[in-house]
């Protein structure tokens, strides 16, 4: 066990898998000598060389497209997109190829690849370094979408993603890169894809969240002595329906918290699933506390992102309904 | 020997490929008009180039075709495989999931054809990276139309493949039309010249002349292998038919090469064969009759073949079905 932040844990996972499997290749902008702008690949170029830790010309389309070809040919590429905000020139590659090649060839070709990218706010990055676009990817059949909320899960989940034979969008909450540390095993271990974690247990209300909002939700619940189930989804698609539904059936109340905007987002899907499968158990409307439906603002970001007051308002509303 | 590396049998094989593609192409267009094939992408005009691609590629090479490569595909994976896919039959490797001519065959080193123009060029580049990394023999050959040269994918693939010195041959099947848009409006430089901007060789060839195209492609494959750098071939041909069965070219152009014209690639190779006395008129007529019979018989067979059933609908979306796929499977009516 070593105490690590998320960046170190991710670096450790990549190191573990590069060492274990020669088919693992990292590819992205500034990831080699520079170690990536967030330092996730620090030291790996020196250890594994430029054939396996590949810095690229400045083209997200190129990074994702090249990874698709590598994966088709039997490698396990791990492309890094420097910020999720820059991914859109690769959207055709992601949606038309990465997501569809397995289905379209009936499994003749599979794409075991993990697209890593930092997302969300927390670095005063304005509209082009702060986006939470997970819904686009979660809405696309064929993609697995995961997001860890702490260093331990980050390492185990990245290892699971690398070993998965499905293409995985691995979304890293950049606001948590350096802000929390916990004990991370030095060796290989996995955190299961498709399984949520109940990180706090309680009977009055279910809080469903993931990625960048998990530590905030946890601290709000603890600080205000709320008797709540707090669920960290970890996987967005396919999300762990059973853990969510079982909890809501017990508490009768659900609040969903995410940093992404509300309209047509992940919260809407969770909320609809609860309504479809557990409406008879509900004692209050399902509420969502989310980012605002505007681009992420540069100087007023704190008003965009969910905060303690907004989360408590929603909790109080459903508890006192 | 016709040329130092083309035997008499080679040119007869090429001629048979050209006749097969022309005959099948016309047959498929015809049955589309009769309503028995919902969609088709005509290939008329590309036959000599396809025969050259089909013959120049070796089994060790990875072929990443685009959607107008009927003859190249048949040479690579066989008529049965192509027709099983064409008619979306239960024998189709892809279970009828994509449109006619969108083949895929991993066992034979053929990448999955994608509809989005140029969308496969970076994947082809990735396969080339992987080949180099894994020290696999052979190179990657990717084909595309002239319209693809305007896509970002084309430029990024040209750049990445040069930056990493990858074993890849880009063949532009320049048929001079991207649906209604002519190549002289698509770009203001010769397509072959674009290679220079990325640091490698570009070659312009007559794609309607089998012998020239075969030589050029074969040599380019060897040079890519030797020189560890990509090459771009601009193979100039002509789309004699519509873009697809949904297109009417009379709206935007006057067709300048019609079937049987001196510039029709079939006429060119047939005249060569007669001039060089490789086949006489009777032998030519026998080949045409034989291929015509085969095409009629095989098309009828595949046309009548069963289609994949609705129980196949959810197969292979992920390695394991998510819970909602299991639910949706139960919702099929």
DSSP A170-216: EEEEGGGTTT--EEE-SS-----TT--EEEE--SSEEEEE-GGGHHH
Over chain B, what is the mean pLDDT?
A: 96
Judged by CB atoms closer than 8 Å, whether chains meet at B119 and A165 is answered as: no
Taking an 8 Å cut-off on Cβ atoms, the answer to whether B126 and A71 are in contact is: yes
Looking at residue B1, its pLDDT comes to: 46
pLDDT, residue B2, reads 54
Say if residue B327's pLDDT is above 50: yes
pLDDT of residue B3: 63
Residues contacting residue A169 through CB under 8 Å, at least 6 positions apart: A94, A115, A117, A134, A137, A143, A144, A145, A146
Q: Report the pLDDT value the prediction gives residue A65, as an integer from 0 to 100.
A: 98
Residue B5, pLDDT > 80, answer: no
Residue B283 Cα, gap to closest chain A Cα (Å): 41
Residue B6: what pLDDT?
86
Spans of chain A below 50 pLDDT? none
> Could you tell me which chain A residue has the CA closest to the CA of B151?
A61
A96: nearest CB among B116, B125, B130: B116
A69: nearest CB among B124, B134, B318:
B124
Supply the pTM of this predicted model. 0.97
Contact call for residues A47 and A14 (beta carbons, < 8 A): no
Rounded-to-integer distance, Cα B100 and Cα B117, Å: 16
Point out the residue among B97, B104, B123 whose CB comes nearest to the CB of A68: B123
pLDDT in the model for residue B266: 97
Chain B: residue whose CA lies nearest to A90: B153
Strands lying side by side in the sheet with A114-119: A53-55, A24-28, A76-80, A114-119, A168-173, A144-146, A235-237
Mean pLDDT of the B117-142 span: 98
Confidence at residue B320, expressed as pLDDT on a 0 to 100 scale: 96
Nearest by CB to residue B93, choosing from A77, A89, A108, is: A108
Measured CA to CA in angstroms, residue B279 lies from A260, B8, B14, B283 at distances of 71, 10, 13, 6
Q: Please report the residues numbered 162 through 191 in chain B whose beta carbons come closer than 8 angstroms to any beta carbon of chain A.
A: 163-164
From A52, A116, A129, A155, active-site residue: A129
B309 shares contact with chain A (CB less than 8 Å): no
Per-residue pLDDT, B228: 85
What percent of chain B clears pLDDT 90, i.e. is strictly above it?
96
pLDDT at B23: 98
Q: Which residue of A has its CA nearest to B316?
A: A103
Q: According to the model, what pLDDT value does residue A86 have?
A: 98
Residue of A51, A106, A142, A274 best to disrupt the B interface, most CBs of B under 10 A: A106
Q: How far is A263 from chain B (nearest CA, A)?
A: 22
Note if A129 is an active site residue: yes
Q: What is the pLDDT of residue B255?
A: 87
8 Å CB contact between B154 and A61: no
Contacts of B114 in chain A (CB under 8 A): 96-97
Is there a contact between B322 and A237 if contact means CB atoms under 8 Å apart? yes
The token pair at B38 is 């919902």
């Amino acid at each position: 066990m070593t105490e690590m932040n998320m960046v170190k844990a991710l670096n450790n996972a990549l190191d573990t898998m590069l060492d274990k499997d020669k088919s693992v290749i990292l590819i992205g902008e500034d990831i080699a000598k520079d170690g990536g702008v967030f330092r996730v690949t620090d030291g790996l170029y020196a250890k594994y060389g430029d054939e396996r830790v590949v810095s690229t010309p400045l083209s997200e389309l190129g990074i994702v497209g090249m990874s698709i070809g590598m994966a088709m040919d039997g490698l396990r590429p791990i492309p890094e997109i420097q910020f999720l905000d820059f991914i859109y020139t690769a959207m055709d590659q992601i949606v038309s190829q990465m997501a569809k090649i397995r289905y379209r060839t009936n499994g003749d070709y599979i794409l075991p690849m993990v697209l890593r990218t930092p997302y969300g706010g927390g670095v005063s990055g304005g509209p082009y370094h702060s986006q939470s676009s997970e819904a686009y990817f979660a809405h696309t059949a064929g993609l697995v979408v995961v997001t860890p909320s702490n260093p331990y899960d980050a390492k185990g989940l990245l290892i699971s993603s690398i070993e998965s034979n499905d293409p995985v969008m691995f979304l890293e909450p950049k606001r948590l890169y350096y802000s929390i540390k916990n004990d991370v095993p030095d060796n290989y271990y996995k955190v299961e894809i498709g399984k949520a974690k109940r990180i706090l247990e309680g009977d009055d209300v279910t809080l469903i969240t993931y990625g960048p909002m998990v530590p905030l939700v946890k601290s709000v619940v603890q600080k205000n002595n709320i008797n709540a189930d707090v669920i960290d989804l970890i996987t967005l698609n396919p999300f762990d329906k059973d853990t969510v539904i079982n909890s809501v059936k017990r508490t009768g109340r659900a609040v969903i918290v995410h940093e992404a905007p509300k309209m047509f987002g992940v919260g809407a899907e969770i909320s609809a699933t609860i309504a479809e499968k557990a409406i008879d158990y509900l004692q209050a409307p399902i509420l969502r506390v989310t980012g605002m439906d505007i681009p992420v603002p540069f100087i007023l970001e704190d008003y965009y992102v969910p905060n303690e007051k907004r989360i408590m308002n929603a909790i109080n509303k459903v508890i006192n309904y | 020997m016709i040329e130092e590396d083309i035997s008499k049998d080679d040119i007869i094989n090429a001629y048979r490929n050209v006749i097969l593609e022309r005959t099948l192409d016309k047959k498929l267009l015809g049955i589309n008009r009769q309503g028995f094939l919902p969609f088709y992408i005509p290939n008329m005009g590309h036959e000599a180039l396809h025969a050259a691609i089909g013959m120049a590629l070796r089994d060790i090479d990875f072929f990443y075709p685009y959607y107008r490569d009927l003859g190249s595909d048949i040479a690579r994976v066989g008529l049965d495989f192509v027709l099983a896919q064409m008619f979306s039959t239960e024998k189709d490797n892809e279970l009828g999931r994509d449109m006619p001519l969108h083949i895929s065959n991993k066992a034979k080193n053929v990448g999955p054809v994608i509809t989005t123009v140029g969308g496969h060029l970076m994947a082809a580049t990735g396969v080339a990276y992987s080949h180099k990394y894994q020290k696999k023999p052979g190179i990657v050959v990717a084909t595309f139309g002239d319209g693809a040269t305007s896509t970002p994918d084309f430029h990024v693939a040209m750049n990445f493949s040069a930056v990493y010195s990858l074993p890849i041959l880009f063949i532009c099947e320049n048929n001079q039309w991207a649906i209604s848009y002519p190549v002289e409006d698509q770009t203001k430089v010769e397509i072959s010249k674009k290679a220079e901007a990325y640091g490698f060789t570009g070659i312009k060839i007559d794609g309607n002349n089998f012998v020239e195209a075969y030589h050029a492609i074969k040599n380019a494959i060897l040079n890519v292998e030797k020189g560890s750098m990509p090459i771009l071939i601009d193979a100039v041909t002509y789309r004699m038919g519509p873009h697809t069965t949904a297109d009417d070219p009379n709206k935007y152009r006057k067709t300048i090469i019609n079937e049987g014209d001196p510039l029709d690639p079939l006429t060119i190779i047939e005249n060569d064969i007669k001039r060089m006395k490789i086949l006489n008129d009777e032998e030519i007529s026998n080949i045409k009759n034989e291929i015509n019979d085969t095409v009629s018989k095989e098309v009828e067979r595949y046309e009548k073949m069963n289609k994949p059933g609705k129980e196949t609908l959810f197969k292979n979306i992920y390695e394991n079905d998510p819970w909602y796929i299991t639910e949706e499977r139960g919702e099929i009516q």
